[in-house]
Amino acid sequence: MSPPHTLLWFVAASIVVASANVAPRAPDACAVIGGKKWVSPREVRACYRSFRVVEEEKANIIDVISKMAAFHTSTNYQIKAPEPFASEVHEDLLGSLQRIRNQKYASDYELHIDFSRTLKRLNDGHIAWVNNCYDSLFVNYLPTPLSLITDAKGVQNVHIAYEAFDVASAEFPDQIDFWQNALPGKLKGNLKSLSGAKILLINGRPPFDAVHANALITGSYQSYATRQNS
């Protein structure tokens, strides 16, 4: 019979070996936002991007969309829509689905975005992609909504809405201090002063560049002007 100290050493050694073979688990990126009412967009994106693509599910989704597209007018019509939309709509849906089938994605969220924007490029309100795992969990709220204001000469410019602070204060009283204190320099604590301000640049570009970029991914409407306003 082995001495007691030999048996103890064997058990301890076994524990060390077993522990060394267990791969460390990555931190749960979604734990940061779990149960919270307000979270930052960066934290939400980190959670969404933590889910890997399940290839079987991806293939099934493409199969379902392809079968649906077989009898949907957008499949052929929107490859080159007639006037007055000939220059705006030219999405080859079946070609894009084949591209998605062959493409690798860093996360399921990136795959979701590709599905969504591919179908939105049809600019047809009768066909859309919605994944409630991503689209319905959180909603973005900004205390500085933008609007077009026409001046005395009839020229339109992008402004922060004149009612922005009043609406934000009334609807989101539990967040107004956060937004106030997030402003830089002399603007800190003075969010109200931005109401009605004219927008000169968005991410270093003229504001109508952002309006145009949004119109390209809004979907649902063939009319460019309608998508600009969405």
Q: Which tokens belong to 222?
A: 């063939």
The predicted pLDDT at position 31 comes to: 94
The DSSP output letter for 185 is G
Residues 223, 166 share a domain: yes
Residues 160, 194 share a domain: yes
Cα separation, 153 vs 162, whole angstroms: 19
Residues 108, 164 share a domain: no
No. of helices (H) and no. of strands (E), the chain: 11, 2
Residues 87, 106 share a domain: yes
Residues 162, 124 share a domain: no
Residue 217 inside a domain? The answer is yes
Residues 222, 159 share a domain: yes
Of 101, 135, 169, which one is at a domain's C-terminal end? 135
Largest CA distance in the chain: 102
Of 72, 100, 135, which one is at a domain's C-terminal end? 135
Query: Looking up tokens 């319905």, which residue turns up?
Result: 136
> To the nearest 10°, the Cα dihedral for 223, 224, 226, 230?
130
Residues 131, 54 share a domain: yes
The predicted pLDDT at position 25 comes to: 64
What H or E segment, with its residue span, contains residue 77? Answer: helix 74-77
The DSSP output letter for 202 is B
The predicted pLDDT at position 24 comes to: 59
Residues 156, 97 share a domain: no
**Domain total of the chain:** 2
Residue 213 inside a domain? The answer is yes
Which pLDDT tens digits describe the chain residue by residue (230 residues)?
444 444 434 344 444 444 444 555 678 999 999 999 899 999 999 999 999 999 999 999 999 999 988 888 778 877 877 787 777 777 889 999 999 999 999 999 999 999 999 999 888 888 889 999 898 888 888 899 999 999 899 999 999 999 999 999 999 999 999 999 999 999 999 999 999 999 999 999 999 999 999 888 888 887 777 887 77
Residue 180 inside a domain? The answer is yes
Residue 222 inside a domain? The answer is yes
Residues 75, 107 share a domain: yes
What H or E segment, with its residue span, contains residue 9? Answer: helix 4-20
Residue 23 inside a domain? The answer is no
Residue 39 inside a domain? The answer is no
CA 194 to chain CA centroid, Å, is: 26
Peptide bond just before 207 cis, omega within 30 deg: no
Q: How many residues in the chain?
A: 230
Residues 123, 56 share a domain: yes
pTM of the predicted model as reported, rounded to 2 decimal places: 0.78
Q: Could you list the residue range(s) of the whole structural domain that residue 109 is in?
A: 47-135
Of 81, 111, 135, which one is at a domain's C-terminal end? 135
Contact 202, 209 (CB under 8 A): yes
The predicted pLDDT at position 14 comes to: 41
Residue 38 inside a domain? The answer is no
CA 3 to chain CA centroid, Å, is: 64
Residues 112, 176 share a domain: no
The predicted pLDDT at position 182 comes to: 92
The predicted pLDDT at position 114 comes to: 97
Cα separation, 119 vs 147, whole angstroms: 27
Residues 202, 127 share a domain: no
Cα separation, 145 vs 148, whole angstroms: 11
Residue 44 CB neighbour total at 10 angstroms: 19
Contacting residues for 39 by C-beta, under 8 A, at least 6 apart: 32, 33, 138
Phi-psi region of 181 (alpha: psi -120 to 50; beta: other; left: phi over 0): alpha
The predicted pLDDT at position 228 comes to: 79
Residues paired with residue 107 on neighbouring β-strands, in sequence order: none
Contact 72, 205 (CB under 8 A): no
